């Protein structure tokens, strides 16, 4: 029997091969968490359902306003400033300003869409996610500290996502804390109110691919990250955007699940360090790739003697290894690249590129 | 006859009813693929599970330019290769449970001596790397270069693996024929 015959025998045999998966497999697939979340998201993006949802959520908000407003007054009369229960801090390992600004931009976007997102996730009725969305709004308010008294409005905006009782509970809690707990004695950022900082955890973050991120939860009695780590901090080098879920035991003894979103994107240019202009179609040009929008791009290439041999403002144009129609010899060349990234910061990069023939 | 367009639209809208229809239509074909790429039925079902999740989530990017079947097949093969690569990356090897499982599988299929079952057993028994290369090249018709990219190795390695896979299969077939003759 020859090798070729073996290939043909198997090909012929398995051309239309079918097998029956076990009956339980469909159940397993249909109950998959990711798929369910996806289906829910799709349904809510459907224009028909969307208008219906917006309508019903509107009604719900109105109803909640009606029910909650007397209590709001009560709280204000009792001189209990309503402050966010959850406060968070961003941890971005790289301290470059660019990153921080990007992170801030990202978070802003997140907050803008916070209401719609909450609605989507809410059908899963995970209190952690809801709490977290609440907190991202709270954070906004904490930043604009003079806005504190208006907090109830913001919280009730989010309230439709959770059951009515839960929403009210979350909302009233800060004012109801009569007995001091240990965590109340800890130093608290953002606010002078000792009732405000019970549980702290990393806020949603945006980072560059593969850079270090440390997520944390403070003042929790037990912290279990759902990726299988039991520690108050989680050090990750994410390659893809993801939501990290963490089960915590709040100082008040209640279990909850928090969700911390880490958005990951490519930053910086991809600059190859060698190329081979031999016409084989592979790596024939020295070309820079930018994962994001950049402007004012300039690429200049110099011989080691200092003579400028290539210059372009078009990022899609690469150097093919020729100068005035003549092939440049193998060896090292220098490049200088300048560009402005999408947040307006100017960059200047220089380095060496090797040409192999 | 199912209405493909309707099902695709339904799946794109995240409707479970249509997802189930798609599943029922393709599950046996795709299970056939998974059985070839996996070591045993359990592993095959894991791959099939992941493939369908991927199919449902990614179907919004399916433009309908090619046949749906070709696309779902492609997704399944890719999922199988991903599973293999993950296995390699984690240094995961046969554990005791699985060893027993595969021995059991062999027993089942040697009692049922149809050519297909026998050949499937032979494929299942190949080392993971050989099996992936053999399936991709001989049955699913990928080129050496494509396979090299998928498996993350050089085309030369692919050729070597293919050659070794075929040698191993040849040996298995010959031994089997010899045993059969002895029985007779």
Taken in order of first residue, the domains within chain B and their CATH numbers are 4-87 (1.10.1740.10), 96-183 (1.10.10.10)
Q: Model confidence at A130, in pLDDT bands (50, 70, 90)?
A: very low
Please tell me which residue of chain B has the smallest CA distance to A41: B14
Please tell me which residue of chain B has the smallest CA distance to A48: B13
Report the b/e string of A69-86 with b at 16+ CB within 10 A.
eeebeebeeeebbbbbbb
Least confident of A26-40, A95-109, A295-309, B10-24: A95-109
Does the beta-carbon distance from B27 to A10 stay under 8 Å? no
Decide if A161 contacts A133 (C-beta within 8 A): yes
> The whole model's pTM is what?
0.42
Of B16, B41, B170, the CB nearest to A30: B16
Does the beta-carbon distance from B166 to A3 stay under 8 Å? yes
Least confident of A109-123, A271-285, B146-160: A109-123
Q: What is the pLDDT of residue A95?
A: 39
Please tell me which residue of chain A has the smallest CA distance to B58: A38
Per-residue pLDDT of chain B (184 residues; tens, 9 = 90+): 467 888 888 888 888 888 999 999 999 999 999 999 998 888 899 999 999 999 998 888 888 777 888 899 999 999 999 988 888 776 555 444 444 444 444 433 344 457 788 888 889 888 888 999 999 999 999 999 999 988 888 899 899 999 999 999 988 888 888 776 665 5
Does the beta-carbon distance from B57 to A13 stay under 8 Å? no
Q: d(Cα A47, Cα A134) in Å, to the nearest integer?
A: 26
- For residue A90, what are its two tokens? 């961003």
Q: What is the pLDDT of residue B101?
A: 45
Q: What is the pLDDT of residue A150?
A: 38
* Chain A interface disruption, residue of B21, B75, B130, B138, most A CBs within 10 A: B138
* Chain B interface disruption, residue of A14, A32, A36, most B CBs within 10 A: A14
Q: Model confidence at A162, in pLDDT bands (50, 70, 90)?
A: very low
Does the beta-carbon distance from B139 to A14 stay under 8 Å? yes
Binding-site residues on chain B for chain A (CB distance < 8 A): 12-16, 19-20, 23, 27-29, 31-32, 34-36, 41, 44-45, 48-49, 52-53, 56-57, 60, 115-116, 119-120, 123, 134, 137-139, 163, 166-167, 169-170, 173-174
**What is the distance between the terminal CA atoms of chain B, rounded to a whole angstrom?**
47
Does the beta-carbon distance from B36 to A17 stay under 8 Å? yes
Please tell me which residue of chain B has the smallest CA distance to A34: B53
Please tell me which residue of chain A has the smallest CA distance to B114: A13
Please tell me which residue of chain B has the smallest CA distance to A15: B139
Q: Write the pLDDT tens digit of every residue in A61-95.
A: 777 777 665 544 444 444 444 434 343 333 333 33
DSSP letters along chain B, please? ---HHHHHHHHHTT-HHHHHHHHHHHHHHHHHHHHHHSSSHHHHHHHHHHHHHHHHHHGGG--SSS-HHHHHHHHHHHHHHHHHHHHHHTT----HHHHHHHHHHHHHHHHS--HHHHHHHHHHHS-HHHHHHHIIIIIS---HHHHHHHHTS-HHHHHHHHHHHHHHHHHHHHHHHHHHHHH-
Stretch A147-176: mean pLDDT: 38
The H or E element that residue A141 is part of is helix A127-143
Does the beta-carbon distance from A19 to B35 stay under 8 Å? yes
* Chain A interface disruption, residue of B30, B47, B139, B140, most A CBs within 10 A: B139
Q: What one-character DSSP code corresponds to residue A178? A: -
Of B14, B41, B138, the CB nearest to A11: B138
- Nearest chain B Cα distance for residue A6, angstroms: 7
Q: Exposed (0-12), middle (13-18) or buried (19+): which is A94, by Cβ within 10 Å? A: middle
Q: What is each CA distance from A162 to A116, A129, A171, A264, B167, in whole angstroms? A: 13, 10, 12, 28, 62
Does the beta-carbon distance from A30 to B163 stay under 8 Å? no
Does the beta-carbon distance from B166 to A7 stay under 8 Å? yes
Does the beta-carbon distance from A1 to B174 stay under 8 Å? yes
């Amino acid at each position: 029997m020859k090798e070729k015959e073996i290939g043909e025998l198997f090909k012929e045999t398995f051309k239309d091969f079918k097998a029956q998966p076990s009956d339980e497999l469909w159940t397993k697939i249909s109950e998959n968490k990711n798929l369910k979340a996806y289906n829910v998201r799709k349904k809510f993006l459907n224009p028909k359902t969307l208008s219906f949802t917006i309508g019903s959520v509107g009604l719900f908000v109105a109803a909640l306003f009606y029910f909650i407003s007397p209590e709001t007054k009560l709280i204000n009369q009792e001189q209990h400033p309503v402050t966010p229960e959850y406060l968070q801090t961003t941890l971005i390992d790289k301290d470059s300003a660019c990153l921080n600004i990007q992170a801030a931009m990202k978070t802003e976007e997140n907050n803008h869409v916070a209401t719609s997102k909450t609605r989507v996730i809410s059908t899963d009725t995970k209190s952690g996610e809801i709490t977290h969305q609440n907190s991202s709004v709270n954070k906004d308010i904490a930043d604009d500290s003079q806005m504190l008294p208006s907090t109830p409005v913001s919280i009730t905006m989010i309230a439709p996502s959770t059951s009515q009782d839960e929403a009210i509970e979350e909302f009233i809690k800060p004012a109801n804390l009569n007995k001091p707990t240990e965590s109340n004695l800890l130093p608290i950022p953002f606010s002078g109110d000792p009732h405000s900082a019970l549980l702290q955890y990393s806020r949603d973050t945006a980072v560059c691919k593969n850079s270090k991120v440390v997520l944390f939860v403070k003042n929790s009695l037990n912290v279990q990250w759902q990726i299988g780590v039991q520690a108050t901090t989680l050090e990750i080098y994410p390659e893809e955007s993801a939501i990290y879920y963490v089960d915590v035991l709040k100082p008040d003894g209640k279990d909850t699940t928090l969700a911390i979103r880490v958005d990951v994107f490519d930053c910086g240019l991809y600059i190859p360090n060698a190329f081979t202009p031999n016409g084989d179609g592979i790596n024939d040009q020295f070309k820079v790739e930018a994962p994001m929008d950049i402007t004012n791009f300039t690429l200049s290439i110099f011989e080691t003697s200092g003579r400028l041999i290539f210059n372009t403002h078009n990022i899609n144009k690469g150097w093919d290894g020729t100068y005035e129609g003549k092939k440049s010899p193998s060896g090292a060349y220098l490049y200088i690249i300048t560009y402005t990234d999408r947040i307006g910061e100017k960059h200047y990069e220089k380095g060496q590129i090797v040409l192999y023939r | 006859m199912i209405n493909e367009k309707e099902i695709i639209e339904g799946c794109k809208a995240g409707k479970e009813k249509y997802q189930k229809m798609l599943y029922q239509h393709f599950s046996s074909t795709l299970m056939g693929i998974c059985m070839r790429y996996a070591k045993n039925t359990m592993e095959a079902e894991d791959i099939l599970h992941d493939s369908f999740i991927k199919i449902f989530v990614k179907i919004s990017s399916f433009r309908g330019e090619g046949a749906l079947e070709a696309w779902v097949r492609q997704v399944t093969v890719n999922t199988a290769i991903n599973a293999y690569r993950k296995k390699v990356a984690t240094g995961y090897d046969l554990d005791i449970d699985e060893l027993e499982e595969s021995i059991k599988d062999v027993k089942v299929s040697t009692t049922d001596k149809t050519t297909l079952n026998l050949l499937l057993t032979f494929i299942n028994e190949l080392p993971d790397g050989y099996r992936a290369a053999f399936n991709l090249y001989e049955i699913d018709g990928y080129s050496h270069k494509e396979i090299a990219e998928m498996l993350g190795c050089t085309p030369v390695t692919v050729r070597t693996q293919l050659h070794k896979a075929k040698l191993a299969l040849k040996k298995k077939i010959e031994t089997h024929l010899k045993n059969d003759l002895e029985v007779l």
